[in-house]
Structure 1
Amino acid sequence: MKNKILLLSLALCLLAFTKVLAQSKEWLTDTPDTSFNIARDFKNNIKKYPFIKIVPDSPSKAVTEVRNLVYGRVGGRELHIDTFTPSAVKKKPTPAVIIIHGGGWRSGNRAQHIPLAQHLAALGYASFTVEYRLSTEALYPAAVNDIKWAIQWLHTNAKRFNINPDKITVLGFSAGGQLAALVGMTSGLNKFDALNSNKEYPSSVQAVIDIDGTLTFVAPDAWETQNQQTVAASTMWLGYKRTENLAIWTEASPLTYAERNKLPFLFLNSAVDRMHAGRDAFKNMMDKKGVYVRIESFKDTPHTFCLYRPWFDPMVTDIDQFLTKIFK
């Protein structure tokens, strides 16, 4: 009898422990979240910055565009990617840039960065805007798996798009910046590689460009550390409150993998300090290791500065200079 009671108690404890460990599905709405979009953001920012202009989607003869290609499928769900390549025929394969949009892992879409992809392609970089599953339909690490999958797809299609698979940069803004940093710092690990048809190809990249994306959820300067009880976009993505499962918040923090990082980084930052958590600590670590890290700060700017002129053009110049330096 005592053994039965003991076994029952252990079973109940295990059940309770399992419930604690399970990611919460309460934020999986299966309904697209449109709360972050450029029209709404422009309306908010024009009050303080009356001179800003949205950078338009501007196709040109210098760039060959193919939109809405499918790079993967999850069940019946297609994952899309847009390609922007230099129209001029080049003898040597070109560097590639895969661009990840922002929106708190929950909103936004890849169309935000089509103008950036067009401008980079015109400068000679094959550029790709990628879709990934947001937290309304799939929790962490689905988005990371998807980006890795898209990179594998680039490796698979290197000849098709005349890209050099040894010169791939992952670039992201806001939540996309965090994803870019995480994908970059885990380059070479199988940890986040999805089980897919491209699994025989690597998901490795050679550089990271982080536009206002946090490097940590757990360091003292992280917004999440200072607001542990708040249910924020990061909570809805990770599936746990900050106080429930510190391990997964640590695992999702790019800074966790900094010791193994060898990739050059470019940080393009707004005046919103909380978006730079972990950046300075990371740079100090890389300086000691001799890994190239460049920081460009845009004074008196909103978080979404990269979407607007007058900041867009100097930002593109910074990206071009960085890529020229590391891939020359």
Structure 2
Amino acid sequence: MVFTETVLGQEVKKDTAFTVYSTFIKERKKYPEISIVKLKEYKNVMVKKAIVYKSIDNRNLLLDAFYNTSKLNPAVILIHGGGWKSGSKEHMQPMAAKIASKGYACFAVEYRLSDEATYPAGIIDVKNAIQFIKSNAKKYHIDTTKIAVLGCSSGGQMAALVGTTNGHQKLETTKKGIPSASVQAIIDIDGVLAFKHPESKEGDMASWWLGGTYEEIPEIWNQASALYQTDKNTPPILFINSQYPRFHAGRDDMIKILDEYKIYSEIKNIPNSPHPFWLLHPWFETTTNYIIKFLDRTFK
């Protein structure tokens, strides 16, 4: 279902096909013990929501910040899933708060979805969010040399692409005085690494976001695939995956390249889980523990 929502005085088209509640209703048929992960308050985490990080014409793009003021902390940018067409930054708030409580500054980011703008708009939005966060490093107590990008499902695909395209001029605003959008770590939670691949089953959802089918625009499908951007400059990466191979298409081929360049990678599997496991108990704690251990290993 698509509807128009007024946010901060502006009308924004929203697709509500993918929500936490609809996911819960669907998955509890197979996993009756599950429950929805709720946003928790932590005494050491400050929260500021609906921060405008970018304006396009009359459209403001927002992010939610979860951070502490104890010292300069590594930052984590969180990208929600929803098939590039649906979903919301609010989905990432519980995870952002939990990670922030362990000594990180976390930012759940809104980006333009496929009903609003096709690729590479969403990728550029996320990179602009990273630049905004770095530009405001003092306010959010961030060490700008320690930035991770994390995404789930389609957001995982985007996170991997953001991280494998550090410094790519076509995807990044490069003006004097604006910091780079480069990141030093990637966390891909069940996001594909290649749109066209023997393991991939991407179809209409990918076509809507990429602006056409593989037969029509093969170069764009390949350009948007992190596997084909992986090189010696790719940062360390953590893969957290469900039991479904289609959601990590291209991962093993990517790891072969990373191994050639001696770049650290790690795979964590969540057995007997649905695809959107990060939104639900009992898998949330396991997922966040894997993330925090990887971030600590990389940045602390």
For residues 106 and 44 of structure 2, what CA distance do their matches in structure 1 show? Answer: 13
For residues 83 and 290 of structure 2, what CA distance do their matches in structure 1 show? Answer: 25
For residues 225 and 247 of structure 2, what CA distance do their matches in structure 1 show? Answer: 13
Cα offset for 1:267? 0.5
The amino acid that maps onto 1:54 is: I
| Alignment deviations for residues 22-81 of structure 1 (CA, whole Å, 9 cap, x no partner) | xxxxx9x97311100011110000010011111101223221000000000011100001
Alignment of 1:275-294 (within 5 A): 275-294=247-266
Matched, 1:259 2:231: yes
| Greater shift in the superposed pair: 107-116 or 261-270 | 261-270
| Alignment deviations for residues 250-297 of structure 1 (CA, whole Å, 9 cap, x no partner) | 111111111244300000101111001000111121112110000000
Cα offset for 1:199? 6.8
**Equivalent in 184, 191, 194 of residue 206 of structure 1:** 184
Cα offset for 1:200? 2.3
Which residue matches 2:115? 136
Cα offset for 1:176? 0.4
Cα offset for 1:136? 0.6
SS of the equivalent of 1:223 reads coil
Which residue matches 2:207? 235
How many equivalent residue pairs?
A: 291
The amino acid that maps onto 2:153 is: S
**Does the CA-based 8 Å contact 2:135-2:178 persist in structure 1?**
no
Matched, 1:167 2:167: no
For residues 286 and 198 of structure 2, what CA distance do their matches in structure 1 show? Answer: 32
**Does the CA-based 8 Å contact 1:173-1:210 persist in structure 2?**
yes
**Equivalent in 28, 32, 36 of residue 54 of structure 1:** 36
Bigger Rg, which one: 1
Cα offset for 1:222? 1.9
For residues 228 and 260 of structure 2, what CA distance do their matches in structure 1 show? Answer: 17
**Does the CA-based 8 Å contact 2:148-2:187 persist in structure 1?**
yes
For residues 158 and 39 of structure 1, what CA distance do their matches in structure 2 show? Answer: 34
SS of the equivalent of 2:87 reads coil
For residues 166 and 85 of structure 2, what CA distance do their matches in structure 1 show? Answer: 24
**Equivalent in 172, 186, 197 of residue 219 of structure 1:** 197
How much is the aligned-residue C-alpha RMSD, in angstroms?
1.7
**Does the CA-based 8 Å contact 2:80-2:92 persist in structure 1?**
yes
For residues 233 and 154 of structure 2, what CA distance do their matches in structure 1 show? Answer: 20
Which residue matches 2:217? 245
Could you list the runs of 4 or more consecutive aligned residues of structure 1 that deviate by over 3 angstroms after TM superposition? none
For residues 247 and 232 of structure 2, what CA distance do their matches in structure 1 show? Answer: 23
Matched, 1:79 2:58: no
SS of the equivalent of 2:107 reads strand
For residues 209 and 176 of structure 2, what CA distance do their matches in structure 1 show? Answer: 25
**Does the CA-based 8 Å contact 2:163-2:234 persist in structure 1?**
no
Alignment of 1:60-139 (within 5 A): 60-86=42-68, 89-90=69-70, 92-139=71-118
SS of the equivalent of 2:170 reads coil
**Equivalent in 24, 31, 43 of residue 42 of structure 1:** 24
For residues 315 and 31 of structure 1, what CA distance do their matches in structure 2 show? Answer: 31
SS of the equivalent of 1:295 reads strand
Taking structure 1 as the reference length, the TM-score comes to: 0.85
**Equivalent in 147, 165, 169 of residue 126 of structure 2:** 147
For residues 213 and 253 of structure 2, what CA distance do their matches in structure 1 show? Answer: 25
